[in-house]
Structure 1
C-alpha cells in the first residue's frame, strides 16, 4: 500500500533512469583510463597519452570520461593524488615529503590544491589527523 502511495511521487520527481550511469557497465575506455591513472597518479600524464592508451581521440575520451565519472581525467588524477596525500599525512609524514611522493610540483602547489579540496592546509590536517 505504501508503494502505491509513493510510486507516482517518485516517478514524477525521479531523474531519467537511462541517463544515470549503469554500475558495472562503464565504457572500456573509461575503465582503462581509471586503471592507468590509478597506476600512474604521480606522473604528469597528457590527455593525448591517455587517448593513445584507449585508442580514442582526446576529445572523445575526455567527453565520455566526464560523462561516466563526473570529472575530466586530470581532475580525477588530482583526486587520486590528494586522497593518497591525505593518507600519508594521517600517518605522520612531513608535508614536503608527501608533496613529492604524490607527484606535486612543489609544496606550494600541493598546499594550494589540498586547501582548495579540504578547506585546510596539509600541516593542519596532519596535526589534527594524528590526534585521532
Structure 2
C-alpha cells in the first residue's frame, strides 16, 4: 500500500510568493464597485497603488466592514502562463480560470474544476475609507 503513495503523480507547485502592499481609497470613483456587497475590483500586478501580486488581485466587498483580496494566479498549475482567474462576465458571482476550468466563489473557495486549493488570500485592513492589502 505504501507504494501507491509514490505513484509519481507528484504535487502541484505552489504560487510563488511576492511582496504585496496595496492601498485603495474606497471613495475613489474607480473603486465604486466596492460600495456594494459582492462588488469586485481588479488590481493589476505592479499597479500604481502598490505591489499587486503575481497576476493581479481581486478585491471583494463581503459587507460594509469586510473586504477580501485574492491573487488572480490560479492555484492549479500556477506556473502555466494561462493560469489566471477572471470574474465571470455575465453573472459577476464567481471567478473562473479558462485554462484549467476551475471555478471559485467570491469567498475564494473552489466550486468546480480540478483545483484542490482555494484562491490565495491576502490580508486586508480598513481604516476610514482606506483599504490596505498586504501579505
TM-score interval (norm. to shorter): under 0.3
Flag the structure with higher strand content.
Answer: 2
| TM-score when normalising by structure 1 | 0.26
| TM-score when normalising by structure 2 | 0.25
Higher relative contact order (CA 8 A, sep 6+): 2
Q: Which has the larger radius of gyration?
A: 1
Flag the structure with higher helix content.
Answer: 1
